[in-house]
Structure 1
Amino acid sequence: MQSTTQKPAARQERIDVRDDYAVCAWARHFNVTQARVKEAVAAAGDDAEQVRAHLTRSASERPSA
């Protein structure tokens, strides 16, 4: 008998910018301002991994002081 074990699908986390508490929590998680979270969601969509990638990409493109 063959085992047909399937890996569980990775949970896709979404960022709801209409929920102030969630935006605040994600801002703390990403160590950015709430405005940056909202900007990133507008640019990359509400998927947390896409937002993380956008914020990382944006941080590397900013000129250093």
Structure 2
Amino acid sequence: MSNPKVRPALEKKPLSPRGSYDVAYFAQKHGLSLKDAMRLIKAHGSDRDAADRAAQRFHH
């Protein structure tokens, strides 16, 4: 069983194409391809909230 306190701490990390944020996790979380996830991360830099909102709009 996973520790529920770990996930919120991970979600506060900044987005970065240089590896401080797991692109595969972001892609899976939002149902995106790795290519699309990387594009969104690059477009929104370290603003996780903005990238999450963009990923939500990506499907609509």
Question: What is the TM-score of this pair, normalised by structure 2?
Answer: 0.57
SS at match of 1:16: coil
Structure with more of its chain in helix, by fraction: 2
Match of 1:57 in 2: 57
The two structures, once aligned, show a CA RMSD in angstroms of 2.3
State how many pairs are aligned: 49
Of structures 1 and 2, the one with the larger relative CO (CA 8 A, separation 6+) is 2
Sequence identity, in percent? 16
Deviation at 1:13, TM superposition (A): 3.0
SS at match of 1:41: helix
Question: What is the TM-score of this pair, normalised by structure 1?
Answer: 0.54
